[in-house]
Amino acid sequence: MTSRDRFLKALRCEALPRPPLWLMRQAGRYLPEYRALRARHSFLELARTPELAAEVTLQPLKRYALDAAIIFSDILVVPEAMGLPFLFREQGGIEMAFTVKSRADLARLTVSGAAKKLHYVTEAIGLVRARLGNERALLGFCGSPWTLAAYMVNGGAGNNLEALTMMFRLDAKLFRELLGRITAVCCDYVRMLAQSGVDAIQIFDTWGGLCSPEIYGEASLQWIRQMVAAADGQAPVILFAKGKGYDWRALAEAGAAAVSVDWTVDLPALRERLPLTVAVQGNLNPAALLADADGARRAAESLLASMAGRRGFVFILGHGVRPETPPENVSVLVETVRAWTSAPRAK
Ligand code: 1CP
């Protein structure tokens, strides 16, 4: 069975002796070969040059027997295409060029034709697919409208994280106009990704946890649902929602093939609660890869054992690989998951 078949079978909740494995942020600063390229090119140069983006995408796959690649890009290319660029701070992290606070700011954002500016992503996808063939799965991704709005209204992490929630509560009309515009671009972009030949599209709702559970449906999930509809079954959608205060059944009913969760969620319990038409993806704590290799192996085995024999499981970290991760620990993780076999459970 190819890695790509394994990945697609897991998303369809078919029985497998071991789960497919990939990592969020599997390309990035923990890899010396990434840092070497970054020393010569800015992040945006890497992301916007299809040959370079393809090379960075393939870096972790050359080192590790991962089952899937994720195209090298960023969720913030969408606001950037709408006319709101982001900058790298001297001290690390990112910052938006301006924040959206009023109707006048909203008027600065482009909707029509914005997604077309992201053609460099689909070109990079074409290059990666040509090199990977059908051996391994290839994922595209997009931020959720709520999470993108969190950057566009709050600014980068460490800024006023309540500004978007305040807009939702105090100026519902402005909120809906903003989210409607972002969603329109995200839907165009998802259609482009789905047609570019990716095997799945991950939607990152990294800041979904800023919503209290009673507003999540209106503030975030309704816009995500439109994106899932835009994929139109051409590529399965994986929905990553960070945090644990969600109505998981409502997320599962949004139409995604899989729900992806962080390490604060009890994954076997979530698997029990969701129907076997929706896969779960998760959720090793990225911190488990920061210390010794033995600890990384034990943490991976414990998650594998807890999910042994269950259908509809994709093994991933609960969030991105941290830049300080020793690359050897990722090797140990990959070896541990690949060596695992378990018989299917009755259920
Ligand atoms: O080289 C550098 O210094 C830039 C670091 C970096 C990298 C490697 C950024 C800036 N983005 C990326 C790539 C990236 N981002 C990928 C592709 C790589 C891969 O997965 O292999 C993906 C899928 C993302 C997605 C992304 N970007 C998310 C969603 C996932 C998550 O981490 O929750 C988010 C929130 C971002 C925003 C972003 N981009 C970059 C940074 C430093 C941040 C976080 C900003 C912040 O909140 O402080």
Nearest to 319 by CA among 202, 211, 225, 215: 202
Q: What pLDDT, on a 0 to 100 scale, did the predictor assign at position 92?
A: 80
pLDDT at position 144 is: 98
Q: For position 347, what pLDDT does the model report?
A: 53
CB of 86 within 6 A of ligand 1: the answer is no
8 Å CB contact between 85 and 97: yes
Q: What is the pTM of this model?
A: 0.97
Alpha carbon of 148 to ligand 1 centroid (Å) = 12
Are residues 259 and 274 in contact, defined by beta-carbon separation less than 8 angstroms? yes
CB 179 within 8 A of CB 146: yes
Residue type (1 letter), 88: F
Angle between helices 293-306 and 327-339 (to 10 degrees): 30
- Write down the H helix ranges in 151-261: 163-170, 172-195, 213-216, 222-231, 248-252
The per-residue pLDDT string of the chain (347 residues; one tens digit each, 9 = 90 and over) reads 999 999 999 999 999 999 999 999 999 999 999 999 999 999 999 999 999 999 999 999 999 999 999 999 999 999 999 999 999 887 788 999 999 999 999 999 999 999 999 999 999 999 999 999 999 999 999 999 999 999 999 998 777 889 999 999 999 999 999 999 999 999 999 999 999 999 999 999 999 999 999 999 999 999 999 999 999 999 999 999 999 999 999 999 999 999 999 999 999 999 999 999 999 999 999 999 999 999 999 999 999 999 999 999 999 999 999 999 999 999 999 999 999 987 777 55
Ligand 1 midpoint to CA 85 (Å)? 15
Q: Which domains does the chain have, with CATH numbers?
A: 3-339 (3.20.20.210)
The predicted-structure confidence for 270-283, as pLDDT tens digits, reads as follows: 999 999 999 999 99
Catalytic member of 12, 29, 176, 322: 29
